[in-house]
């Protein structure tokens, strides 16, 4: 088992942004409210060059969150131990304050499908994902955070709600959670649930980080709204409101603004970060 006493301090209870290389200079010179950054682990799994040099420089100025997108923790096959070893190398090289991954699968056989694919919430899935989380935490020697997905559909076979499923994983593995409130809003809209009821049922004590981001709007075959996670636009007002709703109940947390496609200039992203800082202020004042 990983030793909880050697756990890194975690991220500051302030605002972070998803780091994009085109913002390197602006972010360093004019960070505004930004206290920490998040990077996708897989982008730093080369052997050297600019990505490593930039991350070393940024680590001196900002707390660092490493967010994996390729571990396929929900896969119905053993975890890729080569990939786990690469994650371990990143932890050793950059000593991030936090490591997180997704409740999803992306590898099938030897194929990597480059998307976060959904899981049925059953006892069999719970046992498998819990075993994988334990393996990750043991290999990395630290707690990991697990992020809730954006759902576009449901599995008829599911026997748990998502919140019960996540709570059971926390209970079984001691992992923490990354609460993506944009994903909550997307899933609740797509599956006709109440996003506030989701937050009410969510194990907020386990939250080590919160995400907000943008999404796209589409429709299903019956004309019902179908929101699609894109990280390609500004955060919409209902998601900001859901963040407020969450922070009132959770108290202050590290809050990240994600913007991964159609990445805007630094000023626009910094304005989003400033809005997140405003949302955090009341929670920090208590």
Partner 1 sequence: MTVTQDHFRKALLDPAAAVPEGLQDAQGAAAGRRYDVYRNNVVVSLSEAMIKAFPHVRSLLGEQNFDSLVPLFVRAHPPRTPLMMHYGAEFPAFLEAFEPLKHLGYLGDVARLDLALRASYHAADASPFDPSVLQQAPEILADAHLHLAPSSHVLRSRWPLFDLWRRAAQQDAPEPRPQGQAVLITRPEFDPVVHLLPAGGATWLGALAEQPIGSAVETATAAAPDFDFAANLTLALRSNAFCTPEKDLL
Note the residues at the interface with partner 1 (CB under 8 A): 42-43, 45-53, 69-72, 75-76, 80, 83, 86, 105-108, 110-115, 117-118, 120, 152-157, 190-193, 218-222, 224, 226, 228
Residues 6+ apart with CB under 8 A from 52: 44, 46, 93
- 154 versus 204: smaller Cβ distance to partner 1: 154
User: CB 128 → partner 1: shortest distance, Å?
Assistant: 11
Q: 9 vs 223, which CB is nearer to partner 1?
A: 223
Of 94, 71, 92, 72, nearest to 83 by C-alpha is 71
- Copy the structure tokens of residue 213: 């981001």
Nearer to partner 1, 24 or 245 (CB): 24
Q: How far apart are CA 279 and CA 59, in angstroms?
A: 25
Residue indicated by tokens 């499908």: 113
Give me the least distance between CB of 230 and partner 1, in Å please: 10
C-beta of 19: minimal distance to partner 1 in Å?
A: 16
Helix H or strand E encompassing 126 = helix 123-140
- Closest to 208 (Cα-Cα) out of 104, 72, 100, 103: 100
The residue (of 148 and 270) whose beta carbon lies closer to partner 1 is: 148
Nearest to 187 by CA among 155, 226, 218: 226
Nearer to partner 1, 75 or 254 (CB): 75
Residue (15 or 116) nearer to partner 1, CB: 116
Q: Which token pair is 80?
A: 């890729």
CA distances from 101 to 26, 67, 168, 244 (A): 28, 6, 17, 24
Least separation in angstroms between residue 39's CB and partner 1 is 13
Least separation in angstroms between residue 249's CB and partner 1 is 25
Which tokens go with 225? 């709204």
CB 192 within 8 A of CB 222: no
Residue number, 4 or 43, with CB nearest to partner 1: 43
CB of 53 to partner 1, least distance (A): 7
CB of 51 to partner 1, least distance (A): 7
CA atoms within 13 A on the CB side of 184: 27
The CA angle 168-95-260, to the nearest 5 degrees, is 70
Residue 245 in tokens: 């709703």
């Amino acid at each position: 088992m990983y030793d909880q006493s050697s756990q890194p301090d975690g991220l500051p209870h302030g605002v972070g942004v998803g780091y994009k290389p085109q913002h390197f200079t602006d972010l360093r010179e004019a960070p505004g409210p930004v206290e920490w950054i998040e990077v996708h682990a897989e982008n730093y799994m080369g052997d050297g060059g600019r990505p490593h040099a930039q991350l070393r420089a940024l680590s001196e100025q900002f707390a660092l969150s490493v967010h994996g997108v390729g571990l396929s923790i929900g896969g119905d096959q053993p975890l890729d131990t080569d990939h786990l070893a690469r994650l371990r190398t990143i932890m050793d090289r950059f000593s991030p304050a936090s490591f997180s991954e997704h409740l999803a699968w992306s590898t099938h056989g030897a194929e990597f499908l480059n998307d976060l694919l959904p899981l049925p919430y059953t006892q069999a899935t719970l046992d498998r994902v819990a075993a994988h989380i334990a393996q990750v935490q043991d290999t990395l020697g630290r707690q990991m955070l697990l992020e809730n997905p954006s759902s576009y559909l449901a599995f008829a076979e599911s026997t748990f709600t998502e919140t019960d499923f996540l709570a059971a994983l926390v209970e079984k593995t001691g992992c923490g959670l990354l609460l993506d409130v944009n994903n909550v809003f997307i899933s609740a809209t797509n599956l006709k649930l109440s996003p506030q009821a989701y937050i009410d049922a969510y194990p907020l004590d386990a939250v080590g980080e919160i995400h907000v981001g943008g999404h796209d709007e589409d429709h299903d075959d019956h004309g019902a709204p179908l929101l699609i996670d894109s990280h390609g636009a500004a955060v919409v007002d209902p998601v900001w409101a859901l963040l407020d709703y969450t922070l009132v109940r959770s108290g202050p947390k590290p809050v990240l603004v994600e913007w991964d496609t159609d990445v805007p200039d630094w000023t626009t992203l910094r304005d989003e970060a400033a809005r997140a800082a405003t949302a955090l202020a009341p929670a920090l004042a208590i």
